[in-house]
Amino acid sequence: MMNSSNATLLDGRIAAQAVGVAFRKLDPRLLFRNPVMFVTAIVALLTSLIFVRDLVQGADVLLTGQIAAWLWFTVLFANFAEAVAEGRGKAQAASLRRTRTETMARKLASIEATACESVAAASLRAGDLVLVEAGDTIPGDGEVVDGIATVNESAITGESAPVIRESGGDRSAVTGGTLVVSDRIVVRITANPGESFLDRMIALVEGAKRQKTPNEIALTILLVGMTIIFLLVTVTLQGFALYTGFLIPVVFLVALLVTLIPTTIGGLLSAIGIAGMDRLVKFNVIAKSGRAVEAAGDIDVLLLDKTGTITLGNRQAAEFLPLTGVQEHELAEAALLSSLADETPEGRSIVALARQRAGIALPADRSGMVFVAFTAQTRMSGVDLGDRRIRKGAVDRMRAWMEEQASIGPAQGRELTGLVERVARSGGTPLVVADGRRLLGVIYLKDIVKPGIRERFATLRQMGIRTVMITGDNPLTAAAIAAEAGVDDFLAEATPELKLERIRQYQAEGRLVAMCGDGSNDAPALAQADVGVAMNTGTQAAREAGNMVDLDSDPTKLIEIVMIGKQLLMSRGALTTFSIANDVAKYFAIIPALFVAAYPPLQALNIMALHSPASAILSAIIFNALVIIFLIPLALKGVRYRPAPAASLLARNLLLYGLGGLVVPFLGIKLIDLAVTALGLV
Amino acid sequence: MTADGILQILFTLALLALLTPLFGGYMARVFAGERTWLSPLVGPVERGLYRLAGIDPAKEQHWTSYTLALLAFNLLGLLLLYAVLRLQGWLPLNPAGLGAVSPDLAFNTAISFTSNTNWQAYGGESTLSYFSQMVGLTVQNFVSAATGFAVAVALIRGFARRSGRTVGNFWADLVRATLYVLLPLAFVSAIFLVWQGVPQNFGAYVSANTLEGAQQILAQGPVASQIAIKQLGSNGGGFFNVNSAHPYENTTALSNLIQTLYLLLLASALVYSFGRMVKDTRQGWALWAAMSIMLVTGIGVTYWAEAQGNPAIAALGVNDTASESNSGGNMEGKEVRFGTALSSLWAVSTTAASNGSVNAMHDSFTPIGGLVPMANIMLGEVIFGGVGAGLYGMLVFVILAVFIAGLMVGRTPEYLGKKIEAKEIKLALLAVLVYPVCILGGAALTAVIPSALASVANAGPHGLSEILYAYASGTGNNGSAFAGFNANTLYHNSMIGLAMLLGRFAVIVPTLAIAGSLVTKKTLPASAGTFPTHGGLFIGLLIATIVIVGGLTFFPALALGPIAEHLSLQAGTLFGAIP
């Protein structure tokens, strides 16, 4: 189970491995991916060469040696940060991989075929058919094309109760590594080796094939630009020094360069990205790309299905509302009889209510009863008892049915309309019950809004995210539930086409839309949405269309996903700001140190009262290296995110990372200066 | 600092604030192509010009054709001006009989005026004929300013339009800026200046006897018409060598007030137009506030430094205490008529604004007093800045500020509903990089090439300040100078010419590319999750970004220049002139 693998922030074992990896990452081909660190490594190499030259010539190399060492440390610390993030990812990946034990698969030539061939699961390709029976492990991601089975998916989701998987319908997708508990199914494999969700996720959390996300690319460009600017600053400074009549030692210029270029954020950037993916996995969400996670932070509109997300699973029958002249008992009996053939939870709740409320017994003898089963198309069910034709169903359906039998009297019609509207306005769903030509009354199906959901929507509103409830209910019912749950908007009588159209409409307005879905008919909308989260219990079509899969199949998790996306961006922004703000203090350490010999009055700029030029430069470079180590936990954990309007988030973060970034290095450099002086390192 | 001085400064700034929405609202209408009260008069001329040139002003251009049109137009103007200067001896209106301008100086001057810099490596009255000044320079004063407007307006459209393709029509923007904004205002102002006593004639130079009995040549010419546009169009190229310190170029207290106001007027108004054009005047006012805060701070520092005077001179027993008859402070290189207050106000405004005209010699300011103008230029002249150029420069900084800090609210950064992504960052950095490359690169080369270094007039840190100022002024298209520096050499004419060229067009092209990229984007509706860009927080953030990015780039060089000079002066160390 993945939740158990929550490694502590700096697990000793991971850290120990990361140290080794940090050295291996000195490979120039790997370093080149990170321009800031590449420049740092080059100047570290240059300084080392100077160190060797001076050593050979017998010059004083104490300072040069230390600077060279700290420059290498800077690169290593950055590599270490990345290695730790990857290490934690690998730990996650290992637990993901454990679910994919090497199994054998029974490959079928066709659905009808009876003979099967035993092959290694790893050799299966998309399109292959395999037979899986009780006790077998499903060999790969796929879709049930024949049969029905209960499957234990605890290996993936941590949920121990087995679930039903069957061909057709919305519960046809199966995941490799899960266990069939009963029955037999034929599965069509949908992923080639190495391309399954798990494989993709493993690659993402390990950081091996990590593609930079759009925002990360933009930030890298900024960092490269700043590096170029500071290269220019440093190189030209030698010219100005020459004019002034002295030469700045190359080692000092190097120190200036490395302290100015944004090594802090440059060193931690990829660690932040990897850790973001990692956090997502901990929430049992698999993302197909980092881009999707980043997009989640930008979401403006959340489309949420009402059922299961906003309201507690299924509607429950709550009340029988008879028309004038009809006894409640009579209505309850008809409701019970007509619902016997309705196996939906709603149907069962009607039967239960009739038994409890009206004390009606289930008919012992069902001979002579011809049942009309409930279907999604007819949206009604019933029973024929000789001449009696008892029916219950959705209002429009029942009206149509009644019209076929006989016209409804105007008074009855008005009364029915009144009852229906009363139910709808209070957020319930009305079902109409009739016995042949006789209209009996209305069943009140109540929708129960999940406790605490209102507060969550209020939070989202604070974050600037609009919530839209999607429901098949009529507009009146939808409006009532929307008001009770506190969503901003709703889409009533939703069809897949309407959903898609609504998403496109929001996108045309420039909004980014997230939604979750599970059914095949959700696939177009999931693909259209900027962030589409498919439920793991859903169809393979839905899982392919979305860009994330929630292993727990919990629609409210969209909210967490959005927060993780935001946290990812915030962490980058905060550390960039911190990195740039740090430069101010470094200037006040290094500039007087470089120039005080030429212009003694420049000592006035040494506001930290650092001991000597040598100690000032060394302290700045040590601070620059150590700050990377100190910020690794922040990079891995992410900047704290509390839902709040952007203005207050900005104010808080600017204060913390902007102002903090200005002040902290003054203190840090001063302390290090005291230390290196006391230790006699300069 | 005197109460008088402070009052004069505040009065000028208050006037600026009052006129900003007035002119800005008008300009917003002009650039939207709407009817204005000048339309009955100017409309026929405008339409006539379009017909003559075969241009359909309603036909909008993609950013690439907009840029090509702009570059082609400027290249032609450059070549024409070069030809006029080289052929000066054969051209009319040359009563002083001045000969052809040397190739390198003509190259430098032609770039200088097409790039809206007006760096003057020559002395106006001793080098250029009336024809060169009027047909050559004054024409460029108009169209280079109009070019700046065009770029800014195209960028504004990039922000304001949603999912568009085109950024406007360059020819229409150019013509409208010239006909509706620059020409009428310059015309009225020239007449005003004539009333104030500024010459406007084609007369020969006048010979006069001074009180001491010496002979003096008094230069004449069509001065007023050039002064009006030099101030309005953030050009700054004076008719006379000493620019607006010359009593003919800046005659009275009233002319000084109007000219100071004009340094900033149109740039300031355009910021308001920006707010109007993006349909949210708060956005315009936020940028305006950021600019004003930096301007007022700069004026305060310079005025304070100048009012303090020079301790080395005071030590010689010179009375620099302010009194009824003595403005006090550091009066070297200043007009007695203007004193330290109005000289400081002008110096800081002219460098904030990319104008570059002067009414006092910046070279003679105290180190800190001179540091502020230099820093203004190095920060990119975004404190109101050149007409158009200031606003688009500021918007480039806004893009950077919004990107760095905007991430901290947990969304892809956006400004005015447009997402700031890799492409915009790349282009913004290209524009920003021009400054360190040209200023630091150019100055460092000068510092190490002995023949180039010979142009420096002073030893020690002040010499470095002169070099830095020259290349900053060229790159920033400012045009003012630490005038001790002898810029009229083959080397500096060429290098500063190059710096001016890059400082202008290597910024304009990426800026227009940003406009082209932004205009295609959807406009995201604002929500509580959007980081607001009109409040005090944003203003502070923007200022901090400009000061820190600029400061980090130039602080080391400045430490060896004005800062070392200031600290040495306080410590009593003097460096003297190069013998």
Measure CB to CB from residue B429 to each of A217, A221, A511 and give the nearest one: A221
Chain B contact set for A569 (CB, 8 A): 407, 410-412
- Mean per-residue pLDDT for A470-481? 84
Tell me what pLDDT residue A549 has.
86
Nearest residue of chain A to residue B400 (CA atoms): A222
Per residue in A218-244, pLDDT (tens digit) is: 999 999 999 999 999 999 999 999 999
Mean pLDDT: which of A53-57, A276-280, A539-543 is highest?
A53-57
Tell which wins on pLDDT, B270 or A107: B270
Helix (H) / strand (E) element for B402: namely helix B389-406
Asked if residue B58 has pLDDT above 80, the reply is: yes
| Range name among A136-140, A332-336, A564-568 with the lowest pLDDT average | A136-140
Residue A570 at interface with chain B, using a CB cutoff of 8 Å: yes
- Mean per-residue pLDDT for B131-152? 93
- Mean per-residue pLDDT for B238-242? 84
Chain A contact set for B541 (CB, 8 A): 650, 654
Asked if residue A208 has pLDDT above 70, the reply is: no
Partner-chain contact A654 B426, CB within 8 Å = no
**Mean pLDDT rounded to a whole number for chain A:** 86
Inter-residue contact A621 to A67 (CB < 8 Å): yes
Asked if residue A136 has pLDDT above 60, the reply is: yes
Tell which wins on pLDDT, B330 or A316: B330
CA distance B518 to chain A (A): 13
- Mean per-residue pLDDT for B479-489? 88
Residue by residue, DSSP assigns B196-263 as TT--B--PPPEEEE-TTS-EEEE--SBHHHHHHHHHHTT----SSTTGGGSTTTS-SHHHHHHHHHHH
Q: Residue B371 and residue B347: Cα distance in Å, rounded? A: 11
Q: Is B418 left (phi over 0), alpha (psi -120 to 50) or beta?
A: beta
- For residue A164, name the pLDDT band (cuts at 50, 70, 90): confident
Tell me what pLDDT residue A5 has.
38
| Range name among A346-360, A452-466, A532-546, B496-510 with the lowest pLDDT average | A532-546
Residue B547 at interface with chain A, using a CB cutoff of 8 Å: no
Per residue in A88-104, pLDDT (tens digit) is: 878 777 766 665 556 77
Asked if residue B410 has pLDDT above 50, the reply is: yes
CA dihedral sign of residues A105, A111, A116, A117 = negative
Kind of pairing, strands A285-287 and A548-550? antiparallel
Q: Residue B237 and residue B75: Cα distance in Å, rounded? A: 20
Asked if residue B271 has pLDDT above 90, the reply is: yes
Inter-residue contact A530 to A295 (CB < 8 Å): yes
Partner-chain contact A218 B528, CB within 8 Å = no
| Range name among A126-135, B41-50, B139-148, B560-569 with the lowest pLDDT average | A126-135
Partner-chain contact A232 B440, CB within 8 Å = yes
Tell me what pLDDT residue B294 has.
97
Residue B532 at interface with chain A, using a CB cutoff of 8 Å: yes
Chain B contact set for A587 (CB, 8 A): 552, 555-556
- Of A644, A656, A641, the closest CA to residue A565 belongs to A641
DSSP state of B412: -
- For residue A201, name the pLDDT band (cuts at 50, 70, 90): low
- For residue B8, name the pLDDT band (cuts at 50, 70, 90): very high
Measure CB to CB from residue A229 to each of B433, B522, B535 and give the nearest one: B433
Tell which wins on pLDDT, B369 or A546: B369
Partner-chain contact B528 A463, CB within 8 Å = yes
Tell me what pLDDT residue A167 has.
81
Tell which wins on pLDDT, B95 or B3: B3
Select which of A305, A447, A550, A583 is catalytic.
Answer: A305
What residues form DSSP beta bridges with A548? Answer: A287, A533
Q: What angle do CA B1, B3, B9 make, to 5 degrees?
A: 80
DSSP state of A307: B
Q: Residue A471 and residue A454: Cα distance in Å, rounded? A: 17
Asked if residue A4 has pLDDT above 70, the reply is: no
Per residue in A179-196, pLDDT (tens digit) is: 888 888 888 888 787 776
- C-alpha dihedral over A252, A253, A259, A265, to 10 degrees? -140
Name A630's Cβ contacts closer than 8 Å, sequence gap at least 6.
none
DSSP state of B101: P
Q: Residue A72 and residue B422: Cα distance in Å, rounded? A: 30
Query: Among this protein's residues, is A305 annotated catalytic?
Result: yes
Tell which wins on pLDDT, B106 or A385: B106
Tell me what pLDDT residue B127 has.
87
Tell me what pLDDT residue A198 has.
67
Tell me what pLDDT residue A218 has.
94
Asked if residue A366 has pLDDT above 90, the reply is: no
DSSP state of A529: S
pTM of the model: 0.86
Partner-chain contact A601 B408, CB within 8 Å = no
Measure CB to CB from residue A601 to each of B407, B541, B571 and give the nearest one: B571
Per residue in A404-459, pLDDT (tens digit) is: 776 677 788 888 888 888 888 887 888 899 888 888 899 998 888 888 888 888 88
| Range name among A206-215, A596-605, B157-166 with the lowest pLDDT average | A206-215
Q: Residue A329 and residue A346: Cα distance in Å, rounded? A: 19
DSSP state of B480: -
Per residue in A304-326, pLDDT (tens digit) is: 888 777 887 667 888 899 988 88
Measure CB to CB from residue A236 to each of B409, B444, B552 and give the nearest one: B444
Percent of chain A with pLDDT over 70: 92
Asked if residue A469 has pLDDT above 80, the reply is: yes
Tell which wins on pLDDT, A544 or A355: A355
Determine the residue type at A584. V
Tell me what pLDDT residue B280 has.
94
- For residue A9, name the pLDDT band (cuts at 50, 70, 90): low
Partner-chain contact B525 A511, CB within 8 Å = yes
Mean pLDDT: which of A465-474, A559-568, A618-627 is highest?
A618-627
Tell me what pLDDT residue B301 has.
97
Asked if residue B240 has pLDDT above 90, the reply is: no
List the 406-465 stretch of B: residues with Cβ below 8 A of A: 406-412, 417, 420-422, 425-426, 429, 432-433, 436-437, 440-441, 443-445, 447-448, 453, 461, 463-464
Question: DSSP 3-state assignment of A324?
Answer: coil
Measure CB to CB from residue A576 to each of B404, B463, B548 and give the nearest one: B404
- Mean per-residue pLDDT for B489-503? 95
Tell me what pLDDT residue A1 has.
33
- Of A5, A22, A212, the closest CA to residue A88 belongs to A5
Q: Is B362 left (phi over 0), alpha (psi -120 to 50) or beta?
A: alpha
Residue B164 at interface with chain A, using a CB cutoff of 8 Å: no
Taking residue B123's Cβ as centre, other Cβ atoms within 10 Å add up to: 14
Residue B162 at interface with chain A, using a CB cutoff of 8 Å: yes
| Range name among A61-70, A175-184, A500-509, B329-338 with the lowest pLDDT average | A175-184
Tell me what pLDDT residue A403 has.
80
Asked if residue A7 has pLDDT above 60, the reply is: no
Kind of pairing, strands B61-62 and A380-385? unpaired
Partner-chain contact A239 B463, CB within 8 Å = no
- For residue A156, name the pLDDT band (cuts at 50, 70, 90): low
Per residue in A329-345, pLDDT (tens digit) is: 889 989 998 888 887 77
Inter-residue contact A503 to A525 (CB < 8 Å): yes
CA A660 to chain centre: 30
Chain B contact set for A574 (CB, 8 A): 407-408
Tell me what pLDDT residue A158 has.
58
Residue A461 at interface with chain B, using a CB cutoff of 8 Å: yes
| Range name among A131-135, A311-315, A650-654, B170-174 with the lowest pLDDT average | A311-315
Per residue in A44-72, pLDDT (tens digit) is: 999 999 999 999 998 889 999 999 999 99
| Range name among A275-284, B347-356, B486-495 with the lowest pLDDT average | A275-284
